[in-house]
Structure 1
Amino acid sequence: MRDYVEQTWGQWRADSPEEFDANLHQIVQCDGDDIGCVALVDEPAVLVVKTLYILPSHQNRGIGATLMQQIIKHAGANKKPIQLRLLRVNPARRFYERHGFVVTPSTDERHFMARPPD
């Protein structure tokens, strides 16, 4: 994400500990190695994907797609739409569009995306 942050704002600023909620984040592992993390906020009317990161060395292997299918299944079982946001320069937009997300509003910096429940 550092490259995308620097493209957007010109400099990297590590999140302060106050901004990181360890209770929301789950580590994604593959063959015993930590390869990413996912964070969801299950609100009454919507499921929010706060984080879905897979290390570049493990991308394009179907790991993110499997996680997203599980997220979609969970949201569908609860009849909730899914929302997320990402930096405009992040090519993950195509990944989310393949999973049924559409861009709702956008700013100069971010795309906001949503997916209706199945």
Structure 2
Amino acid sequence: MLSLEEVTLRPATKADAPLFYSVIDRTMREFIVATWGAWNEERVQRESLENSASPNAQVIQVGNVPVGVLLVEREPTYIQVQQIYLLPDYQHKGIGGYLIEGIIAEATHSKLPVRLRVLTVNPAKEFYEKFGFVVTETSHEFYFMERVS
């Protein structure tokens, strides 16, 4: 049984680009193809490198094992969750909820809303609704969601 006490975050580096790629490949490929009709290998490789180098990027670990990525941008008037992806073996174990609850707590303390977007074909929308996120806008590709503290 996984103890959430084992879940930690560490700053990401460019050396984590393969992890960013792997997590997106294993968790988002089918949704990306369903939305845009193809997987753009060059783009995903480039964005994985760029995102891993972001000062806002973190690696989610269980013990010393990297299990996912988190990218959160803190703006003056809101907190934006850009990415929260966990490898399939670590999904549905409470890790995502634990991390979202931490972001919500930070936002509540700062009196800021939390924003994110979810592909319309991704069932993660229901996950976020459990934490009080509501759809504020919809496009063909995305649900734009927000949780007001």
Paired letter, 2:38: Q
> Aligned AA for 1:58?
Y
Q: CA RMSD in A?
A: 1.4
Question: Are 1:108 and 2:140 counterparts?
Answer: yes
> 1:41, CA displacement in angstroms?
0.7
Counterpart check, 1:36 vs 2:68: yes
Q: Which moved more, 1:14-23 or 1:39-48?
A: 14-23
Residue 74 (structure 1) aligned with residue 101 (structure 2): no
Per the TM alignment, residue 20 of structure 1 is displaced from its structure 2 partner at its CA by 2.2
| Aligned pairs (5 A) from 1:21-100 | 21=51, 22=53, 23-100=55-132
1:11 aligns to what? 38
Residues paired across the two proteins, number = 117
Please report the TM-score for the alignment, with normalisation by the length of structure 2.
Answer: 0.75
Q: Output the CA distance in 1 between the equivalents of 2:65 and 2:140.
A: 36
Deviation at 1:17, TM superposition (A): 4.7
Per the alignment, in what secondary structure is the counterpart of residue 20 of structure 1? helix
- Cα distance in structure 2, aligned partners of 1:19 and 1:56: 21
Distance (whole Å) between structure 1 residues aligned to residue 101 and residue 123 of structure 2: 19
Q: Distance in 2 between matches of 1:89 and 1:114?
A: 18
Whole-angstrom distance in 1 between the partners of 2:45 and 2:139: 21
**AA partner of residue 20 (structure 1):** E
Alpha-carbon deviation of 1:15?
4.5
Q: Larger % of helix: which?
A: 2
| TM score, norm. by length of structure 1 | 0.93
Identity of aligned residues (%): 38
